A and B are shown apart, each in its own frame.
Chain A
C-alpha cells in the first residue's frame, strides 16, 4: 500500500511515530495527483506550497508539536479562497482570480499543520449534481462500469474523485443541498455536512448563504471526525458562525449506540425508488438495530415540499450573491464595442462568464424575488422551510437521536447521461439531502455497499443540531457493521 492510500488516522499515527515523514507522504500524493490527471479532479496544483508545508510539518513533528492534521496532504475545493492561489469556483467569470486572503477553514487546517496539494474541480459556483457545469470540464468518478465514465457527483465532485482515487488523504467540500453527501455516496467515501454555523463560511465563495456549509470528505468516519475538528470553530468574521466549543469528535467514536433511538422517516420511501436502494436502507437499519439501537418509524410530513422550496431559496440567494461578478473589479470583463455602456458591460461579462446552469439559477432567483412574485415563491418557500425544520424539531423532541435515510436515489450515473434531460431531473438527485440544509442540521453520508453494477451506495444519517459527535458515532457503527472496504479499480 502506498502512502497516498492511507487514511488520516493511519498517516497521523505513522507520522507521530516518525515511521514516515510529511515530505514522503506529500511526495507520494503529488505523484498520485499527477498520475490522476485523467480524473480531472485537481484543476490547479500547488506542489511548491505542498512541499513547503510538508517540510514545516516535519519540523513541527520533530519538535513534538503535532496537531492531528499535521503533515496530512489535502485537496481543497476550488470554492475556498486560498491566498495567492487561483480560486475561481470553477467559473470563467473568476478566471485568473487570486485572492489576497485565506479562507477561515483552510487557515484553520493550515494552522493544524495540513498540507495543500492543490485546488479541486467542482460544479460552477457549486451549482450542479454531476460536476458537469465546471468551466474546467467534469471530474471523472474513479469507479466505472465497463468502459463507461461516470459522474463523481456534485458539486464537490473533484473532492470526491480525488479522495476515492487516493490522490490525497482527504479533501474539503461544501454542501448547500447535498454537495458533500451525494458525491461521497457516488464514490464510496465519507462526507459530513455539519450543523449550519459549525464551520465558518468566511472566504468560501457564496452560493446560498443560509444553506452553505463546508465539511470534510474522507476515507473513513474517524478521518471525518479528525478533520471536522480542525475545520470547525467560532469565527467572529462570520456572523452566522456559532460561538460554541468544538468537542473532541474522535473521542466520541465509542462504537456504543445501545439504547439510542434511530428514526426511519416514512416520507423518504419514494415512489419508484430502486429496490437496491430500498434493500440497502433496510440493511443499514438492521445494522443499527443489531448494534443495540432502537429503530422507530417516524414521520417528517413536509418532506415532499423540500425540493421545490430549496429550488426557490437557493437560487434566490444565489441571484443576489452572484451580482458582484460584474466585470468591474476582478475576474472576467468582456471586451466592449465602441459606444457600449455600463449595461453592456454587465450583460456581456455575465453572459460570457457564467455557464448555462448558473445563468438558469440566477434567472430563477431573480424571478422569485421580483415584485409580485415574492410572496408566492420566496415567502412561501421560507414558510415551508420553517415547517420542515419543525418536523425535525418535533422528532428530536420526541427522543429520536439520529435519522437514517438513503443518501441518493441511485448510484453514480453516466457522464453526459443527463445532458438532454429536464434540469429538474438533475435536481431530483438532492431529494434526500436538501431537507438537512433547509433545517440546518448535520448530515453524513457513509458507504454501506455496492449495487449490482458494482458501484458504491451510501446511507445518510441526520443528527440533532450541534450533535456532530453523536452523529459521527452512529456513522462509525454503521461503517464498522457495513465493512465497506471496496476500492475502485485503478484505470487511470
Chain B
C-alpha cells in the first residue's frame, strides 16, 4: 500500500474591492439510485419512456394505495454508505415532507429527516499530487424523486409526467468543508466516481441522475478557522442555496458568481439574505427563487404507512464483504504494484471499466509500459474515434498479447504500432498475426550485417559525411530498417552501423 499522505489545498481567496474573502461551501447531492424499480413501487425507472408510462397506482397517489420499500434500493444506499466509510444506521425511518405541487402527486415526499439510513462518512478529494481535501459527509438518506412539470407545450396548459415520480434518490449531504469552486467540482467528480465504482448510481448528470444543491457563503480570512475550532456557525457568513445543478461547469460558475455577488453586497455595507437561488447558465448569474420567509413549512412527520427500517448487522456485513475495490485503493495499488506515476494512476482509475481494462493488460507485465500503451495508444485512439472503452475493438487480452511480443523482443516498437493498427481494424490473435505476416524482429546479426554492408557500399558520399558529423549515422539506421521492412532490431542495427562507420 502506498502512503496516501496529503496536504489540504489552500482555500480559494477572492479579492473584493476592499478586502480578501474566502468561500465556505457545503453540498447536497441527489444521486438517483441505480435500480430497475422505484423506491416504493414496482414501476420501471427506465429513462426516456413515453410520458406517464412508468407509473404505478401508488406513484400516482391513487386513493388507498400504499408504499412498500424496495429492498434493493436500501441495499444500494448501504453500499454507498460503506463506500464512503460511513456509519450505517441499523435503525432508520421514513418521514413525510409535505408540500403542494402538481408533480408531487401524494402532496408529500417520503424522505428520511429524523433517522437517515447512513451517518457520518468522508470523501477524499484530490486537487493534485499530494494535495487533497477530506470532505466529511454528514448523512445519506433515501427519498422519492418528484415528477416533471412541463409548461412549454401549450400556451395555456401545463402537463405533468410521473415517470420519475417515486424513483429512489440518495441525498448525500456534506459538511461545509469545501473551500472553492474547483474543490466543489472535484468533490462532485470524486463522489460520482465512487458511486459509479459501487454501481449505486450511474452518475449521468445530463439526464439529471446526479444533481447538486450548493450552499455558499463568504467570510473574511481567519473566520473559518474559528468556526472549525468551535463548530459555531456564527463565525461564517449567511449562506445561500443554489438549487439543482447538473453540470460541473455550472457548479463552478454558479459558486464563483454567487460568492462575488455576496462579497459585493457585504462590501457595500449590506447583508446577505438567506434564500434559495437558481443558476441561469445562459446569463451566468444566480437569481432569487424564494426567501427564508417564503420557504415552505414542510410539516415533516413520521410516515405512518411505513414501519421503521431495521437492518441486521449480518446483512450489512455481507454487503461489506462484497464491496468492490474503490478508487483510492485502486490508485494506490496501481502506483505501488505497477510503479505508475500519480498522474497516470489517476487517469487510469478515473473510470472503473478503464481501470479494469488496464488491470487486465498490466497484470504480470511491465506496468509502466502497459500504462503508456493504454493511455497513449488505446485512449488516444478511442478519443479520436469517439468510442467508450467498452466499445474498444482491441481487447485487453489482445493488447496484453502485443505487449508480450514487444517484451520478449519478438517485435519492435514500430512493428508493435503496426500490429495495434491491425488489431484495431481487423482483429485477431497478435502472435498469429506476427507469425503469419512475417512481422518478427530480425535479431540475426548476420542478416543485419549484410544489410548494413550493402547500404554503406551503395552510399559512399553519405559515409564521408557521417564520418565528419556522427549525428548523420541515424540516416544509415533508417535505411537499414527500411530495407528490412522494420523488422530488424533497432539496437542491433545501431551498434553495427556505428562500428562499421568507425564511429
Contact = CB atoms under 8 A, between A and B. Distances in A.
B66 interface: yes
B67 A239 contact: yes
Given A324-B105, A329-B105, A97 B63 contact: yes
Contacts of B61: 324, 329
Contacts of B65: 101, 202-203
B62 A99 contact: yes
A239 B305 contact: yes
Interface string B50-76: 000000010011111111110000000
Contacts of B62: 81, 99-101, 329-330
Contacts of A107: none
Contact of A89 (B63, B66, B100, B105): B63
B64 A324 contact: no
Main secondary structure of the interface of A (DSSP, over half): loop
- Highest count of chain A CB atoms <10 Å: which of B57, B105, B304: B304
A203 B106 CA distance: 15
B9 interface: no
A323 B304 contact: no
Interface in B297-325: 297, 299-301, 304-307
B105 A328 contact: yes
Nearest to A238: B66
Given A324-B106, A328-B102, A369-B98, A205 B64 contact: yes
Contact of A203 (B64, B301, B307): B64
Interface in A237-260: 237-240
A329 B60 contact: yes
B304 A239 contact: no
Contacts of A206: 63-64, 305
A203 B108 CA distance: 19
Nearest to B58: A237
A87 B301 contact: no
Nearest to A330: B62
Contacts of A205: 63-64
B147 to A, nearest CB: 10
A359 interface: no
A342 B158 CA distance: 10
B63 A239 contact: no
A330 B57 CA distance: 12
A208 B304 CA distance: 8
B66 A369 contact: no
Interface in B84-108: 96, 98, 100-102, 105-108
B102 A202 contact: no
A50 to B, nearest CB: 22
B160 interface: yes
In the complex, which of the residues A208, A237, A239, A369 has the most CB atoms of chain B within 10 Å of its own CB atom?
Answer: A239
A63 interface: no
Interface stretch (A36-44, A68-76, A370-378): A370-378
Given A202-B65, A236-B68, A324 B107 contact: yes
Contacts of B102: 326, 328, 342
A211 to B, nearest CB: 8
Nearest to A240: B307
Given A324-B106, A326-B107, A369-B98, A87 B299 contact: no
Contacts of B107: 320, 322-324, 326
Interface of B: 57, 60-69, 96, 98, 100-102, 105-108, 158, 160, 297, 299-301, 304-307
11 contacts: A81-B63, A89-B63, A99-B64, A101-B57, A101-B62, A206-B64, A208-B304, A237-B68, A316-B301, A323-B108, A326-B107
Question: 3 shortest A-B CB distances, which residue pairs?
Answer: A323-B107, A369-B299, A209-B304
Given A103-B64, A323-B107, 19 more contacts: A100-B57, A100-B62, A101-B57, A203-B64, A236-B68, A237-B66, A238-B68, A239-B66, A239-B69, A320-B301, A322-B107, A326-B107, A328-B160, A329-B62, A330-B62, A369-B299, A369-B300, A370-B299, A371-B299
Interface of A: 80-81, 87, 89, 94, 97, 99-101, 103, 201-206, 208-210, 236-240, 316-317, 319-320, 322-324, 326, 328-330, 342-343, 346, 366, 369-371, 374, 378
